[in-house]
């Protein structure tokens, strides 16, 4: 797996205990390497602004996602202020808990000075041998890496807006300003034409490879053929144009006239894209964020039910949940989309998401301001016989929640929710702080950051 790059700069003054600063530098580098990051740093110690700015610029050119400024001893505050002002990259200040070095003394004035200037940064205090601190610093690096990865990515809206779904549409200028993501459009007709131009031979090969991996196959041959064609066509367009995210309208031109995108979306999420249904831009963005922070696939679904007593969230989707989140693909059945939703039909996945520690999240806007709700818990695999309470032939995710369920309900600002394997709430906090998105964790009353 590609390791995220983090830059470290060790600061000191010639008159101070440079031996302690060098020891802190080596220990911090080892700790971050052990945490799984690729560490980029420099030889020796940095003593002044010119040297620090030059080093930070070199680290940025080397592709680091953020820079950790290690306060090895007492230092001159302008060294940090000048560097943070000069180099456009996320910075964190790290003071060591060593009374002999006066590192925390330097940390107080540096942190305060940066706040006086209004320069965004994170302030960490503690030893590189502290697992709790390294976990906190790691979350910061992951958040910074996610922000860097999103910048200059491209999101494709396929087919436009689903009527009546206000919370799926976004201000493309705001999305570019906050995340650096470019939003573009492809008409559904383009996907249809691409799908119909595929040769029967290449479709047959892809269809055979896909179908042998799944469980029961319910749809007829024509429906399967069109579902696979949409998958192949949309994937080709995304790859050729360099899109990593897509928000697919589907309803109702394609669902009533040709075929639903359900299987296509499911397979594309399995392939590493972040693809949402119903033209939901915030969904595709949220899924991409979760994928970057967890290195896992994120699902798209509808909030179907919250059981306050059992603290259980049920998410149901019209058929496009990624099959990689099942216990295995043989547990995933393919059925035909319900006729009331798709006159033309379409293959849908039917399974229960496997059990694992999980994180849920959703971007939204309130009076034009971007926000996110996020929470942790654990998904629970349930028998398909229970699906009939909602929809028998749709995929389900059940998530046991660690948050205040009543507060969660008050922060549901869409019919859609997104879940990924792994606990990455702390990294979400750091990401939101870096990009200026207000985070709500149901039940929490204050931010972790000053």
Whether residue 98 has pLDDT greater than 70: yes
CA distance 94 to 164: 49
Mean pLDDT of 349-375: 98
Strands 396-401 and 369-379: antiparallel
Mean pLDDT over all residues of the chain?
96
Domain residue spans in the chain?
Answer: 5-150, 154-440
pLDDT of residue 281: 98
pLDDT of residue 187: 95
Q: What percent of the chain has pLDDT over 70?
A: 99
Q: Are 67 and 7 in contact (CB under 8 A)?
A: yes
The model carries a pTM of 0.96
Beta strands (DSSP E) in 47-111 are: 67-71, 91-95
**38-40: strand order across its sheet:** 38-40, 5-11, 67-71, 91-95, 122-125
Whether residue 384 has pLDDT greater than 70: yes
Residue 344's alpha-carbon distances to 3, 20, 223, 403, in angstroms, are 45, 71, 8, 41
pLDDT of residue 252: 86
pLDDT of residue 46: 98
pLDDT of residue 366: 97
Q: Which fold has domain 154-440?
A: L-fucose Isomerase; Chain A, domain 3 (3.20.14)
Whether residue 447 has pLDDT greater than 80: no
Range in 101-105, 162-166, 323-327, 432-436 the model is least confident about: 162-166
Whether residue 411 has pLDDT greater than 60: yes
pLDDT of residue 446: 62
Q: How confident is the model at residue 163 (pLDDT cuts 50, 70, 90)?
A: confident
Residue found by looking up tokens 């600002």 in the block: 413
- DSSP three-state, residue 420: strand
Whether residue 168 has pLDDT greater than 90: yes
Q: Which tokens in the block code for residue 272?
A: 């590493």
| pLDDT tens profile 5-50 | 999 999 999 999 999 999 999 999 999 999 999 999 999 999 999 9
Mean pLDDT of 234-246: 98
pLDDT of residue 1: 61
Q: What percent of the chain has pLDDT over 90?
A: 95
Beta strands (DSSP E) in 140-261 are: 154-158, 182-186, 245-248
| CB neighbour list of residue 102: distance below 8 Å, 6 or more residues apart | 16, 73, 74
pLDDT of residue 448: 55
| CB neighbour list of residue 312: distance below 8 Å, 6 or more residues apart | 306, 380, 398, 399, 400, 401
Q: What is the CATH number of domain 5-150?
A: 3.40.50.1070
């Amino acid at each position: 797996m590609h390791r995220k790059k983090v830059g470290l700069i060790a600061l000191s003054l010639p008159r101070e205990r440079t031996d302690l600063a060098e020891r802190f530098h080596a220990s911090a580098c080892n700790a971050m390497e052990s945490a799984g990051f690729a560490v980029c740093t420099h030889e020796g110690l940095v003593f002044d602004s010119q040297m620090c700015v030059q080093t930070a610029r070199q680290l940025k050119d080397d592709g680091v996602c953020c820079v950790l400024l290690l306060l090895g001893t007492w230092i001159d505050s302008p060294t940090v202020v000048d560097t943070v002002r000069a180099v456009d990259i996320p910075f964190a200040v790290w003071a060591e808990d060593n009374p002999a070095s006066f590192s925390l003394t330097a940390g107080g004035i540096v942190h305060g000075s940066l706040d006086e200037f209004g320069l965004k940064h994170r302030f960490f205090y503690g030893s590189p041998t502290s697992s709790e601190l390294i976990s906190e610093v790691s979350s910061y690096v992951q958040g910074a890496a996610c922000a860097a990865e999103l910048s200059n990515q491209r999101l494709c809206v396929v087919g436009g807006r689903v009527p009546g779904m206000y919370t799926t549409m976004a201000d493309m200028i705001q999305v570019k300003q906050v995340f650096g993501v470019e939003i573009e459009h492809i008409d559904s007709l383009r996907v249809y034409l691409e799908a119909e131009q595929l040769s029967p031979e290449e479709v047959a090969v892809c269809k055979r490879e896909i179908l042998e991996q799944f469980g029961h196959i319910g749809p007829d041959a024509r429906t399967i053929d069109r579902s696979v064609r949409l998958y192949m066509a949309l994937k080709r367009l995304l790859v050729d144009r360099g899109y990593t995210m897509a928000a697919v309208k589907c309803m109702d031109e394609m669902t009533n006239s040709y075929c639903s995108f359900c299987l296509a979306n499911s397979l594309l999420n399995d392939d590493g894209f972040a693809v949402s249904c119903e033209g939901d831009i915030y969904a595709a963005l949220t899924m991409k964020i979760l994928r970057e922070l967890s290195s896992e696939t994120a699902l798209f679904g509808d909030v179907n039910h919250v059981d306050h007593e059992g603290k259980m969230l049920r998410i149901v989707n019209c058929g496009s949940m990624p099959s990689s989140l099942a216990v295995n693909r043989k547990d995933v059945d393919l059925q035909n989309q319900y006729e009331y939703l798709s006159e033309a039909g379409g293959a849908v996945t039917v399974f229960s998401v496997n059990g694992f520690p999980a994180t849920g999240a959703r971007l939204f806007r309130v009076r034009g301001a971007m926000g996110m709700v996020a929470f942790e818990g654990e998904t629970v695999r349930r028998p398909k016989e229970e699906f009939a309470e909602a929809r028998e032939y749709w995929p389900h995710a059940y998530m046991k929640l660690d948050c205040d369920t009543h507060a969660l309900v008050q922060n549901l600002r869409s019919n859609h929710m997104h879940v990924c394997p792994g606990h990455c709430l702390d990294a979400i906090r750091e990401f939101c702080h870096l990009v200026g998105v207000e985070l709500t964790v149901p039940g929490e009353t204050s931010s972790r950051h000053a």
